[in-house]
Structure 1
Amino acid sequence: MERVSWDDVRIFLHVARAGNLSRAAKSLHIDQSTVSRHIAQLEYELGLSLFDRARSGLTLSEFGKRFLKSTEAMETGFFKLKDELFAPGAEQRQSVRLGTMEGIASLYLTDVLPEFQRLHPEILLELVTSSQRIHVNQREADIFIGFFESLGRGMDAERIGRFALYLYAAPVYAERHGLPRNLGQLSGHSYIGYVEDQIQIDAVRWLQDLVPDPHLICVSSSMLAQMFLATKGIGLVMLPSFANAERFGLFRVMPETAYVMRDVWMNVHRELRYSARVKSLVEFLQCRFHEDTQFGL
């Protein structure tokens, strides 16, 4: 163990979480052969195999599973050490990474996060957006705000809000096609929605909750693109209340009956939750969502 390099261990953690050498190499910004060489060196020093290798990828061996558990504790200790060494007032800034989906990031969080930066200028906030899952338990982010509860190992998940989604239309759509007057007429209209084969989060199938078999006129993996397409009058679109789509000229269609509800979850790695840098953002987000009436539980 005295010959084991932390650099080899760090690369092992990436490979174990990715389950694939090429994905690990991409996240580390190094080439795949370098990753493979580090893993081989680590296995040589340990005298045991960390992975079972197959065409479909890598799976942890029994020893690898035990080694992962121990090295994750080492990694957590390293993060805690960084917090202690670079506490507020130290020369080097800390960072905290918040992962979430594009829509809630661009249409809501960008309005509230400047206040966090004002309150905590010593922290560099990293806002990471994706249309796919961001894995907090794989350290892709410190905190993840999403529309589902994460059940990963070592995760703390808290429901911090609940919001409504409504159908929206542009005036030009209403002029050309009219508007539905009841739920039974929804199937006779055109819609803008998500690209089906790119949906990885079932919670975003909100349009289908309201209109089981919608006539899709255009699809996009981006909520923002859907919204701006709707402003051109090509179809109806379903958007969350926090999008404040009225500012872009859209209006709600049958808001008393044509809506669905979704929860907002905050997912945090249990071992990072109480580090100073993460705790400050967790508490800020809890307060903001609880105070905002459109996210009332």
Structure 2
Amino acid sequence: MTTKKVPLADLDWDDLRLFLQIQRSGSLSQAARQQRVDHSTVSRRLGQLELCLGGPLFERRRDGLKPTELAHLLATHAEAMEVAALGLQEKLGGGERAPAGKVRIAMMEGIGTTFVARHLAPLLAQHGGLQIELVTSATVVNVNRREADIFVSFFEPQGQGLACAPAGSFALYLYAAPQYLAAHGVPASLADLAQHAFVGYVDDLVQLDAVRWLDELVQRPRMRLQSNSMLAQMSAAASGLGLVLLPKFSVVHETGLVPVLAAEAKVTRTLWLSVHHDLQYSGRIRAVMGYLQQLFAAQQPWLNGPPDIAPRG
């Protein structure tokens, strides 16, 4: 018996939303949790969708689900429908309506944990209807695929449909624990750094060239400890394991670390905010984007200032 294919225009929008959740999470179980249904329900609905489309949407592998060509084709149309639905929802809500709803912001762990999270209270106090999801990621976040509404990055993201804008910059400085400097001496020049141990990122786990900042100061640094977590690097350096290059937005002043070669060992990065161009006029997105732009602008003197100044406000 042959099952008649359903035209794309007649497919159930709820099933298409479920498909997008499965594609983005790569897991039926995670999609089930997001939908608040059991795994068997998600599997059944996916099977029905695949039957209607006349082919599989995912290859089942041990390491997760891999989208097929049919899935990529369907995702293009489903994401366009999703953006259109969100835009319609915003317009039906009225232009003067207070910003409300969920906004997902993605960024690296360090800036998210030690800086942005500490400054979100005024935004949420001003807009009581907003709900923020702060997601930390060490990889490029694809806002076109709705992995996040707003992406805060240290580089300009590339891709069609993106609205990107620089939001300031920040400095990075070398730090060390007093006990490390007492045991190994204080470097007097950049050339002296070749004689010292360092704490930094795990090379083969770095997916963003923008965080390879230590390479700009030291060629082939002698690594004592490596971690994919900036917070772990900071803690390890504070215990005396070696020198570490940290951004100004980190809470270095709370760890006991002291600056090293502050006048010479300085690296800078630009902050970028990106959003899908179809969402940039949404009230909730504008409210959060505007707040982040104001936050980074107000903190520029500190973010780019000398390493021994505590943060403002």
TM-score (norm 1): 0.85
Per the alignment, residue 58 of structure 1 pairs with 67
- By how many angstroms is 1:33 displaced? 7.0
Give the whole-Å Cα distance in 2 for the aligned partners of 1:26 and 1:254. 50
Q: Contact (CA 8 Å) 1:16, 1:60: kept in 2 or not? A: no
Q: 1:26 to 1:271 in 2, by over 3 A?
A: farther
- By how many angstroms is 1:134 displaced? 2.6
Per the alignment, residue 20 of structure 2 pairs with 13
Q: Deviation digits for residues 127-177 of structure 1, max 9, x if unmatched? A: 111233332222121101111222133211212122111100111111111
> What letter matches 1:60 in structure 2?
E
Q: 1:236 to 1:42 in 2, by over 3 A?
A: same
3-state DSSP of counterpart to 1:287:
helix
- By how many angstroms is 1:116 displaced? 1.0
Q: 1:131 to 1:54 in 2, by over 3 A?
A: closer
Identity among equivalent positions (%) equals: 39
> What letter matches 1:219 in structure 2?
Q
> What letter matches 2:225 in structure 1?
C
> What letter matches 2:196 in structure 1?
H
Q: 1:98 aligns with which of 92, 98, 105?
A: 105
Per the alignment, residue 32 of structure 2 pairs with 29
Q: 1:155 to 1:122 in 2, by over 3 A?
A: same
> What letter matches 1:175 in structure 2?
A
Q: Contact (CA 8 Å) 2:248, 2:303: kept in 1 or not? A: no
- By how many angstroms is 1:264 displaced? 1.1
Give the whole-Å Cα distance in 2 for the aligned partners of 1:127 and 1:224. 17
Per the alignment, residue 76 of structure 2 pairs with 69
Written as runs of structure 1 = structure 2, the 5 A alignment for 1:101-180 is: 101-180=108-187
Per the alignment, residue 199 of structure 2 pairs with 192
Q: Deviation digits for residues 77-125 of structure 1, max 9, x if unmatched? A: 2223443566799899511111111100111112321111122121111
3-state DSSP of counterpart to 1:288:
helix
- By how many angstroms is 1:65 displaced? 5.4
Per the alignment, residue 270 of structure 1 pairs with 277
Q: Contact (CA 8 Å) 1:149, 1:157: kept in 2 or not? A: yes
> What letter matches 1:13 in structure 2?
L
Q: 1:113 to 1:88 in 2, by over 3 A?
A: farther
Per the alignment, residue 289 of structure 1 pairs with 296
Q: Deviation digits for residues 43-99 of structure 1, max 9, x if unmatched? A: 4434x54759698943324xx655433322211122234435667998995111111
3-state DSSP of counterpart to 1:234:
coil
Q: Contact (CA 8 Å) 1:8, 1:39: kept in 2 or not? A: yes
- By how many angstroms is 1:126 displaced? 1.3
Unaligned 5+ runs, structure 1 = none
Q: 1:135 to 1:12 in 2, by over 3 A?
A: same
- By how many angstroms is 1:217 displaced? 1.0
Per the alignment, residue 45 of structure 1 pairs with 52
Unaligned 5+ runs, structure 2 = 1-6, 305-313
Q: Contact (CA 8 Å) 2:99, 2:283: kept in 1 or not? A: no
- By how many angstroms is 1:267 displaced? 1.4
Q: 1:214 aligns with which of 198, 218, 221?
A: 221
Per the alignment, residue 239 of structure 2 pairs with 232
3-state DSSP of counterpart to 1:179:
coil
Per the alignment, residue 261 of structure 1 pairs with 268
Give the whole-Å Cα distance in 1 for the aligned partners of 2:175 and 2:95. 45
Q: 2:85 aligns with which of 46, 64, 78?
A: 78
Give the whole-Å Cα distance in 2 for the aligned partners of 1:163 and 1:199. 20
Q: Contact (CA 8 Å) 2:98, 2:283: kept in 1 or not? A: no
Give the whole-Å Cα distance in 2 for the aligned partners of 1:52 and 1:95. 28
Q: Contact (CA 8 Å) 1:137, 1:154: kept in 2 or not? A: yes
Q: Contact (CA 8 Å) 1:83, 1:94: kept in 2 or not? A: no
> What letter matches 1:59 in structure 2?
T
Give the whole-Å Cα distance in 2 for the aligned partners of 1:92 and 1:234. 47
| Residues paired across the two proteins, number | 289
Per the alignment, residue 309 of structure 2 pairs with none
